[in-house]
Amino acid sequence: MNKKQKKVLTRIIIASVLMIILVLLPLEDYPLVRFILFMVPYFTVGYDILLKAFKGIKNKQVFDENFLMAIATVGAIALGEYTEGVAVMLFYQIGELFQSYAVGKSRRNISQLMDIRPDFANVMVDGVLEQVDPDDVEIGSEIVVQPGEKIPIDGVVIDGNATLDTAALTGESVPRTAKIGDEVISGCINMSGVLTIRTTKEFGESTVSKILDLVENASSKKSKPENFISKFARIYTPVVCYSALALAVIPPVVRLIMGIDPLWTQWVYRALTFLVISCPCALVISIPLTFFAGIGGASRAGVLVKGSNYLDALSRSKIVVMDKTGTLTKGVFEVTKVQAVDISEEELLEMTAMAEAFSNHPISRSLKEAYGKPIDTSLVSDVEEISGHGVKANVSGKVVQVGNEKLMNSIGVQVEDIVEPGTVIHVAIDGKYHGYILISDMLKEHSKEAIIGLKRAGISKTVMLTGDSKKVADLVAADLGLDEVCAELLPGDKVSKVEELLATKTDKEQLIFVGDGINDAPVLSRADIGVAMGALGSDAAIEAADVVLMDDDPSSIVKAIGISKKCMRIVYENIYFAIGIKVACLILGAVGIANMWIAIFADVGVMVLAVLNAIRALSVKKYK
């Protein structure tokens, strides 16, 4: 509780004690003394509300909750209802204090969850470590990160190895290792070992700065419910003020015309009760707080949402379109099968790796890694790379040809059509076929689980887009259980396909595109919601996407949708609950059934319950 909140709490306690004492004292026979004494707790607890109401009238911003409370309480006191007048102001302040504390607690929770801003960077100066402001560190500088410290700026490890805690960024509790040559990002905590890092970005362009900026600015993009509540409050407050005025004047005038006792006091009291009930605090406070808490809770789970409008859109998603490489697969080629003919598998791998010894192609690298032994390049000569076919080389006096089916056909070697999920590398030695090696882009561990989770979450269609061959794409899609697959696509073709899918849905349904965030910027921008997957440190992802998933797990898509649906459920619960109670109590107040005490519940009680419900959005469970 901050200093301001403690001061308000002190005023509330003093006013409460004074009011209880005054209620117990026999002051009915001393009306002037009673009035003066009751003004002490009234002004003690309510002077700031009266001041705000006066300033609002002075600045021509009349219709707000301060004005409603001032009119209602002053009116009640004018009618001689001193206890109720003080009680309304007292309970209103209690509600405001509770709301202030709840918002502060939410902000502190989010601040702790996103406490990734580094305070300093260690720079070596004349052999001595000096702590400097991260903003002052230039690109290419060498910084030292000791155990327990945050990595202040993105860079590459040039010395040391350590274990890094990435929980604040990804929501994952499992630490990752960092060694020489690895790229590391700001915001991670060094758990062990000393790292020397050469910076690759300025602090303002580093991952931690971009994430903090994204979360801080998320509130600027409002959802439809938030915009509705803002417009509703601007129209609603004047309407209820004029309605209360009509309630105070019209019935007594009609009774007077009819020759009946007008009962002015009774109808004015009803009008004042009507004003207290009508205060829209519960809606105005709880709806933005729900979205704020939802965005904060998502941030803790490694899901960065750029605005509450995207939380709203995520909850209404029905079509999920995904890139294959880097999203559903690891994006790293690995040897998954070796099929040797007339020689051993080890010999086949050795001859293939030696033929590919001088190539830096990703497929060549994966073949050399699968062999796993040093290659004596002196045994390799006459290397010839044949574009679009493969490679030919002389290995220890033997002609080794490694490549695709076209290469085999060109030398008169017939091969069977092999239908397996991956790239088939055929091998011929001295013109004779000796087998093939299958290289696959492996599926991520949770890809299949993610597709099942999406269907449980209400997604009606899952689509995969890829530039790979149709044969490979169909096998991957069948393995994952996808509804539709489009293969052999160029980046421009992906945009066209997304536009086709957009044309098939209704206006209320939303289409999500999930990509690795590096080469999918056009499609991320074109979809209703662009989601960048595994985008730690990717500038393109953070700029182009509406939602950034900070880990590399496809099941985070399910998590993002689950968080959005929970948040929107709480939003609508608060809207229906607050409006429903208000309408019921307004009717009861207008007909004289509800008194000031019921009015206090309708205002403060509903607000407290709505705020308590709103902060549930901070809690994020695992969505599978």
Q: Rounded CA gap, 85 and 596, in Å?
A: 8
Same domain, 100 and 226: yes
Same domain, 102 and 132: no
Q: Rounded CA gap, 42 and 75, in Å?
A: 13
Q: How many CB atoms lie within 10 A of CB 312?
A: 21
More confident residue, 296 or 413: 413
**Residue 145 confidence (pLDDT):** 92
Q: Say if residue 341 is exposed, middle or buried (CB neighbours under 10 Å; 0-12, 13-18, 19+).
A: exposed
Is 556 contained in some domain? Answer: no
Q: Say if residue 619 is exposed, middle or buried (CB neighbours under 10 Å; 0-12, 13-18, 19+).
A: exposed
Same domain, 543 and 492: yes
Q: How many CB atoms lie within 10 A of CB 369?
A: 12
Same domain, 27 and 83: yes
Q: Rounded CA gap, 242 and 250, in Å?
A: 12
More confident residue, 363 or 310: 310
Calculate ∠ Cα 366-372-377, nearest 5°.
Answer: 90
**Residue 537 confidence (pLDDT):** 47
Q: Rounded CA gap, 244 and 69, in Å?
A: 13
pLDDT at 577 over 70: yes
Amino acid at 426: H
More confident residue, 218 or 136: 136
Is 558 contained in some domain? Answer: no
Only one residue has tokens 């009673």, namely 34
- The SS3 call for residue 133 is coil
Same domain, 182 and 252: no
Q: Output the CA–CA distances (angstroms, integers) from residue 234 to 71, 144, 227, in the order listed.
A: 18, 54, 11
Same domain, 279 and 142: no
Q: Rounded CA gap, 490 and 465, in Å?
A: 10
- Edge-to-edge strands of the sheet including 162-165? 176-178, 162-165, 189-192
pTM exceeding 0.75: no
Is 213 contained in some domain? Answer: no
Which tokens is 471 given? 């044969």
398-411 residue pLDDT tens: 999 998 888 898 88
Is 610 contained in some domain? Answer: yes
Q: Which residues pair with 199 in a beta bridge?
A: 155
Count of the separate structural domains present in the chain: 4
- Domain boundary residue, one of 385, 419, 442: 442
Is 296 contained in some domain? Answer: no
Same domain, 505 and 598: no
Which tokens is 30 given? 């001393």
Which tokens is 457 given? 């979450």
Q: Mind telling me the catalytic residues?
A: 323
Q: Rounded CA gap, 364 and 335, in Å?
A: 11
11-23 residue pLDDT tens: 999 999 999 999 8
Q: Among 434, 443, 450, which Cα is nearest to 395's?
A: 434
**Residue 569 confidence (pLDDT):** 93
Same domain, 350 and 471: no
Is 212 contained in some domain? Answer: no
Q: Say if residue 77 is exposed, middle or buried (CB neighbours under 10 Å; 0-12, 13-18, 19+).
A: buried
pLDDT tier at 427, thresholds 50, 70, 90: very high
pLDDT at 517 over 60: no
- The SS3 call for residue 123 is strand
Mean pLDDT of 604-610: 81
Mean pLDDT of 91-107: 71
The residue range of the domain holding 321 is 303-328+444-550
Mean pLDDT of 412-428: 81
Same domain, 529 and 468: yes
Same domain, 432 and 461: no
Q: Rounded CA gap, 375 and 255, in Å?
A: 106
More confident residue, 497 or 539: 497
Same domain, 29 and 52: yes
Q: Rounded CA gap, 421 and 473, in Å?
A: 8
Is 471 contained in some domain? Answer: yes
371-388 residue pLDDT tens: 888 888 889 899 888 876
Amino acid at 460: S
Q: What is the longest distance spanned by two Cα atoms in the chain?
A: 124
Q: Is 372 left (phi over 0), alpha (psi -120 to 50) or beta?
A: left
DSSP-assigned letter for residue 62: -
Contact status, residue 620 vs residue 556, Cβ threshold 8 Å: no
Helix ranges restricted to H, 154-307: 167-170, 207-216, 224-257, 264-278, 281-300
Which tokens is 475 given? 């096998």
How does the average pLDDT of the chain come out, rounded? 83
Same domain, 74 and 10: yes
**Residue 169 confidence (pLDDT):** 67
**At 497, which CATH number?**
3.40.50.1000
**Residue 317 confidence (pLDDT):** 93
More confident residue, 462 or 97: 462
Looking at 58-67, 136-145, 359-368, 442-451, which range is the least confident one?
58-67
Only one residue has tokens 């809606």, namely 283
DSSP-assigned letter for residue 153: S
Mean pLDDT of 480-500: 85
3-53 residue pLDDT tens: 888 888 999 999 999 999 998 888 888 889 999 999 999 999 989 988 988
Q: Output the CA–CA distances (angstroms, integers) from residue 474 to 291, 382, 421, 487, in the order listed.
A: 40, 39, 9, 8
Q: Rounded CA gap, 525 and 537, in Å?
A: 19
pLDDT at 199 over 90: yes
**Residue 270 confidence (pLDDT):** 86
223-281 residue pLDDT tens: 677 666 667 767 777 887 888 889 889 988 998 888 888 888 888 888 888 877 777 77
